[in-house]
Structure 1
Amino acid sequence: MMMNLFSIFDPMSSTLNLSINWISTMMGMMFIPKIYWMISSRINMMMNFLFTVMHQELKILLGKNNGSTLIFISLFVFIFFNNFLGLFPYIFTSTSHIAMTLALAFPLWLSFMIYGWINNTNHMFAHLVPQNTPGMLMPFMVMIETISNLIRTITLSVRLTANMIAGHLLMTLLSSTGTSMSFYFIIMLIIVQFILLTLESAVSIIQSYVFMVLSALYSSEVN
């Protein structure tokens, strides 16, 4: 029974009072049968084409360190599976929690910063002051660039979480009013819900892609 509007995001399960809903995070691998890796199929070819396109795009962003594209493509697939599975009834959406998205964004950002400041210290200092900045504005630009660098983890995680929560809340809010509607309004509600579900499917792909590209951009800045 839904006690409030936000109970759909509750990670706690009633079974032995354990947070077993987080198991849905790895549920996406169950949808890939073993035969997928052995016999070529249309799905296999489509996925290979998608990964090839993303690999070529990431090579442009990463430059000489294009071998790390596998990390970002894996990140895309992981986030996409969790976003997409969350659209199904009774499946917990782990990417709608800041704890999950922050756990993905913070280690990436921290590793980029540690690598950049150790190996490319002068390059990292140069990033704090844009070219042709007047001398009087340099202290302010250093402060602004430092703050914008520190909040990258928050912006990455909050963007993904907020988009997942907003769509789910809107669909839940609309569906909860269906019991008090007439037959014709219910038909209209179903059509609206179908449109929202299509939109959420697109958002699940777009947000996965945005997370991957922004992470790759942050990685390219430290080289």
Structure 2
Amino acid sequence: MPFQIPSMPALLEAATKLDQAYAKNRTINDKNRWFNSLRPATHNTDRLQDIQFIKNLSKYISENKFLYEKIDPAFKGKSYPWVIAPFLKEALSGAMLLDLSKITVSYGDEKATKKNSALAKVILDVFTINGLSEVPINKRKTCLESLKQCIEAIDTFTKENGQEKIQWHPGKSNKIVLTEITHELEALTKKIESEEGHGQAATLAF
């Protein structure tokens, strides 16, 4: 089955309950550890802060999705159901897939990621996939591009209108968050170009 982003209501609900689902999976994982009764519950600050980043973005989108055309000039006069909603879904998905990518890299492979990472399990369930490789690389790139544009547009809008600055990630500045997104985009772009190059070479050889 091709990769699909859930509906807006389903995606927002999943993001809102991300911390609860993570805590549930974390408890299950802790119970399955060797000598679990002698070890304290796992407290992964990085994961919890990444979850809060996703929840912060989800909250803003939920509260402002019908006003987004006033926030981002690129969407002025655009249709909400046909243009704006798909973009915002990609942006929120991009935040989740960025985390999934980082977790997958840290575990080394998708099998270990799904087995051992409580947060990865939650994100995989959101998209009904077994691993990051099931998300087409061009779709990952599009989602990250939407995420970057969305955050930049909101930051610009709040600044220009004298609103309180939004701290997206509790452990990182907005600049660092955008830098991480940019680095991930650059890595994906190189991978896409490499795959296209190999494809062209194979065609010429044939």
Q: TM bucket by the smaller chain? A: under 0.3
Q: TM-score, normalised by structure 1?
A: 0.26
Of structures 1 and 2, the larger Rg is shown by 1
Q: Which TM-score applies when normalising by structure 2?
A: 0.27
